[in-house]
């Protein structure tokens, strides 16, 4: 069972570079999420999607973009990376009904220098 | 909007002692409550959840939590901890299972001392 798969696991970027964090799930979940985790701050929601072609902003969307062309994939794009985007990024998914639990990937650790 | 407060950023406990990790939430509507655990360099995994019904919820690895609506609390407990319980624990809330995911607390680092 793959569950939620994130790539890459680690990445170092220079200020101003761009990159895409990949997220794929094989559970046929409609809802997908991107969170960022900073020490002592818990997890903050960046973007989420309730199905292919539908995305919406979370609490901290500035500097990021997402797309959802398929049910399985939910990539997160960082444009013009800044040191403030140094963080651990988690992708998660769940079914669209009720209060299903979130299933998390193992995270992508990004450092912007 | 909902919010979650985890009152302790760090809790040191001796092995085989009991532990309680505190969580309070605020919300104007009915909520679903969750506890997640994060082991070093891993993603989050669900420990337990409260959706409705019995206020005492049992989870994996011997953990349990009690939902107290009047106190707006959802404290996590374990009667006897093991060194392998060393991890970060997150309380989270969802207002009525909304699509915008969960709101997380800042986490409590449980440190088990031998």
pLDDT digits (tens, 9 = 90+) for B89-98: 999 998 876 7
Among residues A52, A81, A78, the alpha carbon closest in space to that of A67 is found at: A52
pLDDT tens digit sequence for B62-74: 999 999 999 999 9
Structure tokens at A67: 């797309």
* pLDDT of B112: 95
Neighboring chain B residues of A45 at a CB cutoff of 8 Å = 100-101, 103
- Distance CA(B90)–CA(B39), nearest Å, equals 11
Neighboring chain B residues of A40 at a CB cutoff of 8 Å = 9, 106-107
* pLDDT of A97: 66
| Angle (CA) A37 A40 A43, round 5° | 30
- Count CB neighbours of A83 within 10 A: 10
* pLDDT of A46: 96
Query: Is the link from the previous residue into B66 a cis peptide, with omega within 30 of 0?
Result: no
pLDDT tens digit sequence for B7-39: 899 999 999 999 999 999 998 778 899 999 999
For chain B, give the number of residues.
114
* pLDDT of B52: 85
Q: Which residues contact A16 (CB under 8 A, 6 or more apart)?
A: A80, A81
* pLDDT of A1: 67
Q: How far is CA B48 from CA A12, A102, B1, B91, in A?
A: 35, 12, 23, 10
Q: Which residue of B has its CA nearest to A101?
A: B46
Among residues B45, B93, B99, the alpha carbon closest in space to that of A97 is found at: B99
Residue A15, beta-bridge partner list? none
**Binary contact (A102, B102; C-beta < 8 A):** yes
pLDDT band at B76 (very low <50, low <70, confident <90, very high): very high
Low-confidence stretches of chain A (pLDDT beneath 50)? none
Residue appearing with tokens 């997908």: A32
pLDDT tens digit sequence for B45-57: 999 999 888 889 9
Instruction: State how far residue A94 is from chain B, nearest Cα, in angstroms.
Output: 9
* pLDDT of B97: 67
Q: Which of A45, A99, A107 sits opposite B97 (nearest CB)?
A: A99
């Amino acid at each position: 069972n793959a569950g939620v798969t994130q790539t890459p696991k680690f990445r170092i970027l220079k200020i101003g570079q761009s990159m895409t964090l990949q997220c794929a799930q094989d559970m046929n979940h409609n809802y997908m999420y991107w969170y960022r985790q900073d020490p002592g701050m818990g997890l903050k929601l960046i973007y989420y999607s309730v199905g292919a072609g539908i995305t919406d902003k979370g609490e901290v969307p500035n500097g990021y973009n997402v797309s959802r062309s398929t049910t399985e994939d939910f990539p997160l794009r960082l444009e013009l990376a800044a040191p403030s985007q140094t963080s651990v990024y988690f992708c998660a998914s769940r079914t669209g009904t009720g209060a299903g639990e979130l299933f998390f990937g193992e995270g992508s650790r990004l450092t912007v220098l | 909007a909902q919010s979650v407060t985890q009152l302790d950023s760090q809790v040191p406990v001796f092995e085989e002692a009991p532990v309680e990790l505190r969580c309070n939430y605020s919300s104007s509507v009915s909520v679903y409550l969750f506890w997640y655990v994060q082991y070093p360099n891993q993603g989050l995994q669900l420990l337990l959840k409260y959706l409705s019904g019995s206020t005492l919820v049992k989870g994996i690895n011997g953990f349990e939590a009690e939902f107290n609506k009047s106190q707006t609390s959802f404290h996590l407990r374990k009667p006897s901890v093991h060194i392998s319980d060393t991890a970060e624990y997150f309380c989270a809330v969802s207002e009525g299972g909304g699509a915008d995911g969960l709101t997380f607390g800042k986490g409590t680092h449980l440190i088990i001392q031998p």
